[in-house]
Amino acid sequence: SGAVQMGCGTADGSCAHGEVTICPDVDGGWTEVTGVYNAVATATTFRLHGESGYDAYFDYMSMIGPCPGGNNRVVNGQLDGPVVDNTIAGWNTHNCEVSIVDWEGRTGVLKNKDAGGFSDIYQTINTVAGATCALPSRCSVSHHDASRSSFQ
């Protein structure tokens, strides 16, 4: 999916789609999606995004490429609970209700229930400016427009 830049840099961390956006292209079931991101700064925010009133489910998120302190800097990339104050360890939320559920044959996955449009669970990590990274994740949605992973 093409990049869309909408509302980045707000105080609450909201950025609708980011600079690089990857989306599943099928409805239902689990889909592996991988984005390639060329870091332009020393920090990158990535978002597991849902919208349009559809629930989005995510199984993991990782970063493959040069990072300060090691290859994979994603905190809690397995998206494990428990959910405390509507988030999980290492992550922040924006306009979503977070829970850990069983879905489509997988147990203990993160559910992002839309709670106001452009719902995100997001994290900012240190990167190396100019480095190219791959950011794979696994997601499942009931409608392919409901889930995106974006990076800025």
Question: Does position 103 have pLDDT exceeding 60, yes or no?
Answer: yes
Chain Cα centroid distance, residue 67: 18
Residue 116 region by backbone torsions, left for phi larger than 0, else alpha for psi between -120 and 50, else beta: left
pLDDT level of residue 11 (50, 70, 90 thresholds): very low
* Alpha-carbon distance values, 133 to 74, 91, 107, 126, 128 (Å): 12, 20, 28, 12, 10
Question: Does position 85 have pLDDT exceeding 90, yes or no?
Answer: yes
pLDDT in tens, 12-67: 444 444 456 666 666 667 888 877 778 888 888 888 887 667 788 889 988 877 66
Q: What stretches of 45-150 show up as alpha helix (H) in DSSP?
A: none
Q: Which amino acid is at 113?
A: K
pLDDT level of residue 92 (50, 70, 90 thresholds): very high
Cis peptide before 68 (omega within 30 of 0): no
Q: Which amino acid is at 31?
A: T
pLDDT score recorded for residue 132:
82
Total residue length of the chain: 152
Q: Give the side-chain half-sphere CA count within 13 A for 104.
A: 18
Q: Which DSSP letter does residue 84 get?
A: B
Kindly provide the residue ranges of all beta strands, DSSP E only, lying in the chain, ordered along the sequence. Answer: 20-22, 30-38, 43-50, 55-61, 92-94, 96-103, 106-114, 119-126, 132-141, 147-151
